[in-house]
């Protein structure tokens, strides 16, 4: 999943210098168009890559069950895919906001890390790997949807005016 995330983020991270240049020139229309193009490609790449990994897990279970015994089940891979997709979105938003020399996601990163750490300790004490991955995915998705998304919308709208 890390390779899927890194590969998808190249669509956005390689444009960070262009984002900064366009922001400095106050060329917000071109900046927004470039960001939208980049984030759409990043989303498509991460969704395709993570879907392929989940599918590969299913195929391995049927074709090479002894090899697949060493891997987590497909539903756990699907949970990891959800977290990976969420994290790519949040990272892309953070890269965009850095063009304006803003780091509003720093607090979110610290809180998210603390919540994930606590959830992993609790889940590992009473449950197994699926619960740990489920907690990680749930926290990642909730933070992306309910904290990062509105914050990004607020900051991004400031620069359009």
Q: Which of these, 17, 38, 45, 27, lies nearest to 93 by C-alpha position?
A: 38
35/31 Cα distance (integer angstroms): 6
| 108, 142 Cβ separation under 8 angstroms | no
Q: Give the tokens for residue 80.
A: 């990891």
Which are the contacts of 108, defined by CB distance < 8 A and separation ≥ 6? 90, 143, 147, 148, 151
Burial 3-17 (b: 16+ CB within 10 A, else e): ebbeebbebbbebee
Query: What residue segments make up the domains of the chain, in order of their start?
Result: 2-160
Q: Give the tokens for residue 149.
A: 């998304």
78/55 Cα distance (integer angstroms): 9
Note the maximum CA span of the chain.
Answer: 59
How would you write the pLDDT of the chain (161 residues) with one tens digit per residue? 899 999 999 999 999 999 999 999 999 999 999 999 999 999 999 999 999 999 999 999 989 888 888 888 999 999 999 999 999 999 999 999 999 888 888 889 999 999 999 999 999 888 888 999 999 999 999 998 899 999 999 988 887 65
151/147 Cα distance (integer angstroms): 6
């Amino acid at each position: 999943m890390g390779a899927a995330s890194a590969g998808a983020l190249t669509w956005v991270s390689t444009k960070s210098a262009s984002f900064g240049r366009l922001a400095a020139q106050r060329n917000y229309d071109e900046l927004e168009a470039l960001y939208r193009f980049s984030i759409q490609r990043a989303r498509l790449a991460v969704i395709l890559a993570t879907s392929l990994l989940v599918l590969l897990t299913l195929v391995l279970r049927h074709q090479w069950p002894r090899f697949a015994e060493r891997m987590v089940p497909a539903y756990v891979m699907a949970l990891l895919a959800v977290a990976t997709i969420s994290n790519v979105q949040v990272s892309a938003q953070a890269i965009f906001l850095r063009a304006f020399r803003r780091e509003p996601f720093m607090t979110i990163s610290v809180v998210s890390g603390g919540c994930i750490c606590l959830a992993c300790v609790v889940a590992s004490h009473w449950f197994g790997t699926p619960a740990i991955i489920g907690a990680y995915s749930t926290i990642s998705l909730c933070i992306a949807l309910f904290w990062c998304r509105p914050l990004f919308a607020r900051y991004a709208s400031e620069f359009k005016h």
